[in-house]
């Protein structure tokens, strides 16, 4: 398999884009993809003071590196959840990453608030989510940042969407946008610069770049049932995840002016309605 751009040996075949690429061309492709996404969806704006929430995982590490390459100024925030060696290892990866990309890293420890995640008995993931959102927003605002960027991927958004619609929580599903502006002075904007990038693409990027990242899942993470449903659909319909997430953030086309067919008088979007066009093409009468 050869790189479609330069002809060298390809390292990947992106089914969603039907393109094989070598490692250099892949890095270039990835960078352009993220840049286009940020521009098109106005994910970052003039005057933003950006704080990147990083976990040590492949997605946020890829985000930090590519944004740095694209010339964005930002600081990073790591929230230490106190999950034993999992948190310690993740923290080391993030510190290493900060050194490589030469960005300031802030660390907030959940234990400063009097508890750690392993002490939570019920609904651990829900409590952890609340804690992270609270700390990200408060730290950002108190330290002069105007937007918090997270490494949510296309798979994250699609699986949240399906889960929340099926769970009757359309109000959560509708928050799945590339950027959300604050509706209160206590809030900062939220940005998801990787919202149309897949996990596999992030993984490939961090591996080719040789970036530090922690590959294990959190020991408290449940079986990712909705994610697996999304992976299954992608297997059957390559490109589904990207297409679906793009479809979600695209506004519905305005209906065309109502017209009436000049032949039959029925409703039509043009001079002649679709049915009369078919009839003219096929009718033997």
Q: Which spans of this chain sit near a copy of itself (rule: CB under 8 A)?
A: 113-115, 119-120, 127, 130-131, 134, 137-138, 162, 164-171, 173-174, 183-184, 186-187, 225, 228-229, 232-233, 236-237, 240, 243-244, 246-248, 250-255, 258, 260, 265-267, 273-275, 278-279, 282-285
- Per the annotation, does 55 bind a ligand? yes
- Per the annotation, does 125 bind a ligand? no
Distance CA 8, CA 1 (A): 9
Q: Which of 141, 138, 140, 117 is nearest to 128 (CA)?
A: 117
C-alpha distance from residue 40 to each of 112, 123, 173, 181 (Å):
39, 37, 21, 16
- Per the annotation, does 218 bind a ligand? no
Closest CB to a copy of itself among residues 11, 187: 187
Q: How far apart are the first and last CA of the chain?
A: 54
- Per the annotation, does 22 bind a ligand? yes
- Per the annotation, does 25 bind a ligand? yes
Q: Count how many Cα atoms sit within 13 Å of the Cα of residue 117 in the half-sphere of its side chain.
A: 24
C-alpha distance from residue 203 to each of 9, 54, 166 (Å):
19, 15, 29
Q: How near is the Cβ of 130 to a copy of itself at its closest, in Å?
A: 5
Q: How near is the Cβ of 243 to a copy of itself at its closest, in Å?
A: 4
Q: Across-strand partners of 106?
A: 77
Known binding-site residue numbers for Zn(2+)? 3, 6, 22, 25, 261, 264, 273, 276
Known binding-site residue numbers? 3, 6, 22, 25, 53-55, 59, 79, 151, 156, 261, 264, 273, 276
């Amino acid at each position: 398999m050869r790189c479609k751009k330069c002809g060298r040996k390809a390292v990947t075949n992106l089914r969603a884009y039907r393109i094989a690429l070598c490692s250099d061309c892949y890095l270039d492709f990835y960078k352009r993809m993220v840049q286009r996404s940020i521009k098109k969806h106005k994910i970052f704006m003039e005057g933003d003071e950006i704080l990147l929430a990083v976990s040590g995982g492949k997605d946020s590490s890829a985000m930090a590196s590519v944004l740095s390459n694209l010339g964005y100024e930002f600081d990073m925030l790591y929230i230490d959840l106190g999950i034993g060696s999992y948190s310690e290892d993740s923290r080391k990866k993030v510190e290493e990453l900060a050194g490589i990309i030469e960005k300031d890293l802030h660390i907030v420890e959940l234990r400063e608030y009097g508890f750690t995640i392993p002490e939570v008995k019920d609904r651990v993931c829900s409590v952890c989510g609340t804690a992270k959102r609270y700390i990200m927003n408060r730290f950002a605002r108190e330290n002069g940042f105007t937007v918090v960027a997270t490494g949510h991927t296309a798979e994250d958004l699609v699986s949240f969407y399906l889960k929340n619609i099926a769970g009757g929580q359309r109000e959560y599903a509708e928050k799945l946008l590339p950027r959300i502006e604050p509706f209160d002075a206590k809030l900062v904007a939220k940005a998801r610069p990787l919202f149309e990038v897949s996990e596999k693409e992030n993984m490939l990027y961090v591996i080719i770049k040789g970036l530090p990242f922690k590959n294990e899942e959190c020991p408290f993470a449940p079986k990712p049932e909705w994610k697996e449903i999304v992976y299954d659909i992608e297997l059957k319909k390559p490109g589904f995840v990207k297409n679906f997430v793009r479809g979600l953030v695209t506004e519905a086309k305005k209906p065309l002016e109502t017209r009436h067919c000049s032949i039959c008088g029925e409703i039509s979007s043009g001079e002649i309605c679709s049915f009369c066009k078919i009839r003219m093409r096929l009718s033997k009468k």
